[in-house]
A and B are shown apart, each in its own frame.
Chain A
Amino acid sequence: MHAIDRRGFIKALAAASSVSILNIANAHAAKIKARVVVVGGGFGGATAAKYLRLLDPAIDVTLIEREAVYTSCPLSNEVISGDRAIKTLQVGYKGLTRRGVKVVHDEVTQIDPVKKTVLTASGKSFGYDALVLSPGVDFNYGAVAGLTEQLAQTSLPHAWKAGPQTLLLQKQLAAMPDGGTFIIAVPPGPFRCPPGPYERAAQVALHCMHHGKKKAKVLILDANDSFSKKSLFEQAWKALYGYGEGGMIEWVSGSNDGKVERIDPENLTCYTGFGEHKGDVINIIPPHHAGKIAKNLGLATFKDKWCEVKPESMESTKEKDIYVIGDACIGGELATNNGFPKSAHMAMSQAKVVAANLVAKFNNQPAPQPIYTNTCYSVVAHDWGFSVVHLYRVQNGQWVYIKEGSGISPVTFGSKEKPEPVPRIYRKLEVEYADGWLRNVMADAFA
C-alpha cells in the first residue's frame, strides 16, 4: 500500500470509529524508527535503499523510480560494438522488494523540504524523515545548436544513459560502411563517466576492425584538453587501431578547435568554432547537469549544475535532511583537480556513506568515519583493459584525496629512463575483472 493510500485509509476509518484505529497507527509508528524516501533507482539510489534495510530493518524505505528495468551504463559501450548483449546489463527491482524496500514506479514532480514530502506524477505523496536524491543527470540539448531531445531519440543518439539509445547507436554503427566516419563529440567536463567517450572510441574501432571496415575513422571532437586515463588510451589506440595521422582513431582537443558548437542533422555535419566535420554516424554527448528534480529544488549550487554536499554525510549544503548522491553531486578534492568521478562505483560508495550515517543518526549513535572509494574499468579490446582507482577520506570536515590508494593501471614497467612494456596478462586480467566487477556491483546494488 502506498503512503497516501494508507493515510487516506486510516483517515477514512478514523472518521467512522476513532479509538481502535489510533492504536493501530501507534503500534505501526512504534515499530518504524524513521521513513526514508530514495528518489532514483540507479546504482546510487538502489544501493542506498538496500543498505538502509540491510543495516536497520526498522527503517521504512521507499524507492521511487520511473522505469521497471534498469540498464547499466558501465560496459554499455560493449553493446554498441556488438560485443555484449544489453540483457547482461539489465536488472529489475525484485531484489530490493525482497529486502523490504517499497519500490514505487512513478515520477517525482515536487519536493517540499519544509513539509518534508515528495509528490509524484500520479498524485501520490510520501512523507520522509530523510530524503536521498540520486537522480542522475539531465541533458542540456540547447548547448549544441540544432540538437534536440527528439533528435537524440531518433537519429543522433547520445547513448549517455544506457537503453534504447545504446541500441540505436549500435544499429547505426553496424550499418556504417567501410571508409565511414564515426564522430564522438565530448562536452566540457565534468561529465558522467570521465573515460567513457574514449572507451567508446576504442569499442567502435574494435567493431570496425572485426567487421571489414578497416578504412573507417573514429573522430573524437573534444571540448577538453585532456582526459581520464589518457596515456593508457593513447597507448592502446596506437597499438590496436592506429592513432593520429593515418590511424583509425583521431582526437581533436578543445584548444585545437575540438568543441562542437552546432550540428546540421540533415547533412550529419558538426560545426566547431572554425571547422566543419561530416560524419556517417554522429554521437553528440550533450553537456549535462544534476537531474532536474534536484536542480529545480535549488540544490545545484555548483556552477548552477551540480549539487554540493557535506563530506561527512553527503547531506546537501542547501537543504537539511536531503542527501544527494551519484552523478548529480560534486565532491572530492576539487582544488587539486581530484574531484569525485561521476561513476557507478563512486555513487555506490556515497550511498553506503549515507546509509551508515542515517542508521547511526536514527539510532542515536555517533556518525561513523566515512570512506569513499572508486574503481572504474575501461575495456578497449577483447584482451585489453585498464582501470583507475580512487580513495578519499574525510579529515577536519574536508575530503582528502589519498594519493597512495589512487591511480591508473601502469602505462609502462621498468624505470623512467628505461621503460618496459607492461606484460599483456595485466591488460587481459582487467578485461576479466571488468566483467566480474559488473556482476558484483549489479548484485551489491540491486540483489
Chain B
Amino acid sequence: MRKQAMALTLFWLTGSAIAAMDIDVLARTCNNCHGVGGVSVGTSMPSIGGLPREYLKSVMKQWKNDERGAATMNRIVKGFSDDEIDALAVYFSKKRWVPVPQSVSAALLAKGKDAISENCEDCHGLTGSDPDEDAPKINGQWAKYMELELEKYRDDGFKMPHRKMKKTARKMKPADVPAAAHYYGAQSK
C-alpha cells in the first residue's frame, strides 16, 4: 500500500516536473510563426501572447475537431493532445499582451471608427483592449491578419464557428472591412 502510494507520488512529482519543462519546449515551436513570447512581427500572423486562455484553448480545440476552418493551423494542432493544447493556452495567456500600433491615415482611422462603432464595439470595445470574455484583445493586433480573418467570416466556402461574428462580418460593407481592421491595428491601449 505504502509502496504504491510512494510510486504514485513519485510519478506525480516527476510527471509534473517534466511537464513544466516540456511545455516551454513545445511553446517554442510556436515562436517560429507567432514570435518570441507570442509577439508576431509578420503582418498576416497574429500575436498570441496575452490572449485569454479560454479563447486560445477554444480556437485550438475547434481546429482540432474541424469545427473551425484554417489554411494551416488545423493540420498543426491535430498532432497535439488536449493536455498539450490546454498547457499551450495557459502558457501564452500568461505572457504580456504587446500591442503593435500601426500607422494609418486620419481618413481611414475615422472611417474605421464609424465602422467599428456600428459593427464591432459592442463586443470588442472601443479600442479592442477590453473585450467580452470570449473575445480576443485586438488593440494593436496586425491589421492585415484581422482583415484576413474578416474575409474568412465573409466567405461562403470557409467554415467559421461564431454565429454572431459571422453575421456581423457578413453585413459589413466591403470597404469597412479594411477600415475596421486598420482602426484596431492602430490602437496602442
Contacts and interface: CB of A to CB of B under 8 A. Distances in A.
Q: Do A and B come from one complex?
A: yes
Contact of A436 (B24, B33, B80): B33
Nearest to B149: A429
A430 B44 CA distance: 10
B18 A375 contact: no
Interface string B22-33: 101110110111
Contacts of A447: 41
A438 B41 CA distance: 10
Please classify the interface of chain B as helix (H, G, I), strand (E, B), loop, or mixed, using the class held by over half of its residues: helix
A439 B42 contact: yes
Contacts of B5: none
A404 B78 CA distance: 6
Nearest to A439: B42
3 pairs of A and B residues whose beta carbons are closest in the complex: A405-B79, A423-B157, A436-B42
B42 A440 contact: yes
A391 interface: yes
A440 B33 contact: yes
A345 B32 contact: yes
A436 B44 contact: yes
Contacts, number: 124
Interface string A345-388: 10011001100100010000110111101010000000000010
Interface residues of B, number: 37
Given A371-B29, A437-B33, 14 more contacts: A353-B25, A368-B25, A369-B18, A369-B21, A389-B72, A391-B76, A405-B77, A405-B78, A425-B152, A433-B72, A436-B43, A436-B144, A437-B42, A443-B36
Contact of B41 (A345, A389, A439): A439
Contacts of B152: 425, 429
B158 A437 contact: no
A352 B44 contact: no
A407 interface: yes
A425 B151 contact: yes
B35 A423 contact: no
A435 B44 contact: yes
Given A349-B29, A368-B25, A423-B158, A438 B42 contact: yes
A104 interface: no
Interface in B13-60: 18, 21-22, 24-26, 28-29, 31-36, 40-45
A423 B75 contact: no
A409 interface: yes
A402 interface: yes
B28 to A, nearest CB: 5
A232 to B, nearest CB: 12
Nearest to A357: B25
A383 B158 CA distance: 16
B79 A406 contact: yes
B45 A373 contact: no
Given A405-B75, A443-B41, A425 B158 contact: yes
Interface in B79-130: 79-80
A437 B157 contact: no
A429 B35 CA distance: 19
B155 interface: yes
A435 B32 CA distance: 13
B71 interface: yes
Contacts of A356: 24-25, 28
